[in-house]
Amino acid sequence: MFTANKNQYSKLDLKGRARRMRHEPTAAEDKLWQQLRGGQLGVKFRRQHSIDRYIVDFVCLSHKLIVELDGAGHAEPDQADYDRGRSALLEELGYCILRFSNEQALNQMDAVLAAIKTNL
């Protein structure tokens, strides 16, 4: 299965960046990971996984489902444009992307998990 772009993997230090992100999750990422890890939804999820030249928050490779958690910075115009371009490329690769705010992950976990289950 295609994940990381081999030409960019070393150049962009995707492995090192993903490792750092796994070791320093946001509170929302940590809370969601506790619900996704270990096949609790019946499928395997990976966190901070590189696909092409990007690192996604969570991905179920078998179902090509990406789950992204967005903080307040994602509402900024430049970041929103970047996110749209990133999502377009990932969708071209066949992935479905679900986006939730950090607040949703922290305060509405049941709704977030229901949406993920619906898309699996």
Residue 77 in contact with residue 32, Cβ under 8 Å? Answer: no
User: What are residue 20's DSSP bridge partners?
Assistant: none
CATH code for 6-119?
3.40.960.10
Determine the Cα–Cα distance for residues 102 and 70; give it in Å rounded to an integer.
Answer: 6
> Distance from CA of residue 96 to its chain's centroid?
11
Tell me the per-residue pLDDT of 91-118, one tens digit each, with 9 for 90 and over. Answer: 999 999 999 999 999 999 999 999 999 9
Instruction: For the chain, give every domain's residue range.
Output: 6-119
Tell me the per-residue pLDDT of 27-86, one tens digit each, with 9 for 90 and over. Answer: 999 999 999 999 999 999 999 998 888 889 999 999 999 999 987 665 566 667 888 888
pTM of the model: 0.81
User: What are residue 47's DSSP bridge partners?
Assistant: 58
